[in-house]
Amino acid sequence: MNTRNIMLILSFIFILFLSSCSQQEFEAPLLDEPYLLVSHVKEPAFSYINLNTHEKIGSFKQPYPLTNLISLAPHELLATSQQHNAILHYDLLAGTIEPVLTINKGLTDLVYNEIKNQLYVTDIQNNVIHIINALNYSVEETIEVGQSPTELSLDQDNQLLYVLNLNSHSLVIIDLENMSIKHEFDVIDRPSGLFIKNNLVWVGGHGPYGDLNRHIYGYDIATGELIEKIEVGLMPIAMYGDEQEDFIYILCHGDHILTKIDTTTNTLINTVSVGQNPNYLTSNNRSIYVTNLDSNTVSIIDKNTFTVETITVQEGPLGMILEDRNDG
């Protein structure tokens, strides 16, 4: 065997060694029915809830408290954690965790653009967003935005990226064709919660210290002008909706409530109580799911009746992923 072949074999062995060293394992349950995955931040773990029966499948420890998580393929997640400097890949069936791209600590929100095969991640340490090739996990572009970018959203056509900046109280709109900032304007103090509908970008948040916010604000996408203001509850910090419905669901963690807004009239039409310190919501065709950080519960709200079912989980539930949205 010549020297070149020996070196190639040794290089391959070294790469396998590095890969095995970076990969971690966690206990994974049998997942043969649609489920809701809940990530916990007080004691890092995953809880699984059967979407058909609403029964707990179980809770299983894993190493990291996750800031955000998204699904790219069945039973596979990408996630960020304040305790890690990389984007993490979770295989929920194999029970493995592997860093796919090391950047730095301070990565928060994560969004996938399936049209462009790109990932976008906010970096509050450097006040930038990173645009990442989702096929080979390489950074294609890094764009400076405002102070402490914490939340991202794509427009319906996946051509514009909206970036909410916590400490500079601003919204940045990035044109993804030319990778440049198209527009920037001021929003509410300490903003949180972002949703785009009917040429308005809706923003919630905590508001200034000493005068906590009770409204969501609708800004004109083209001009940044404030067009609508709707009272919904104390500290509306998360929103959910989709293009098929004429509603926005808003989570108010000061009043521990979920509210429903009709976007054809921009009026509040329903309110329901959930658990203590709700922070995160997601939805499928039938239900809305809310994690309640301090009461250690998940609230399941029927979209038609707005009645609530409460499921107790372990401490500190935060993020969620619905696996199979058609069956929930």
Residue 253 lies in a domain: no
pLDDT attached to residue 104: 94
In this prediction, residue 72 carries a pLDDT of 87
Pure H helices in 125-262: none
Distance CA 203, CA 92 (A): 33
Q: Does residue 235 lie within any of the structural domains?
A: no
What is the pLDDT, as a whole number, of residue 9? Answer: 42
Distance from CA of residue 124 to its chain's centroid?
Answer: 15
Q: Can you give the residue range of the structural domain that contains 115?
A: 64-186
**How many CB atoms lie under 10 A from the CB of residue 294?**
16
Asked if residue 296 is part of any domain, the answer here is no
User: What is the per-residue pLDDT for 3?
Assistant: 46
Query: Is 203 exposed, middle or buried (CB count within 10 Å of its CB: 0-12, 13-18, 19+)?
Result: buried
Is 147 part of any domain? Answer: yes
pLDDT of residue 244: 81
pLDDT tens digits in sequence order for the chain, 328 residues long: 554 444 444 344 333 444 444 799 998 888 889 999 999 999 999 999 999 999 999 999 999 999 899 998 999 999 999 889 999 999 999 999 999 999 999 999 999 999 999 999 999 999 999 999 999 999 999 999 999 999 999 998 999 999 999 999 999 999 999 999 999 999 999 999 999 998 999 999 999 999 999 999 999 999 999 999 999 999 999 999 987 889 999 999 999 999 999 999 999 999 999 999 999 999 998 999 999 999 999 999 999 999 999 999 999 999 999 997 443 3
Q: Where are the beta strands (DSSP E) in 62-190?
A: 68-73, 76-80, 86-91, 96-102, 107-113, 118-123, 128-133, 138-144, 149-154, 160-165, 170-175, 180-186
Domain membership of residue 9 (yes or no) is no
Residue 215 belongs to some domain of the structure: no
pLDDT of residue 15: 39
pLDDT of residue 22: 78
What would you report as the CA-atom Rg of the chain, rounded to the nearest whole angstrom? Answer: 21
Domain assignment present for 206: no
Q: Which residue has the tokens 């979209």?
A: 303
pLDDT for res 318: 97
Maximum alpha-carbon separation in the chain: 76
- Considering its fold, how many domains does the chain have in total? 1
**Helical ranges in the chain per DSSP H:** 3-22
Count of helices and strands (H, E) across the chain: 1, 29
CATH of the domain at 82: 2.130.10.10
Q: Considering the domain boundaries, does residue 129 fall inside one?
A: yes
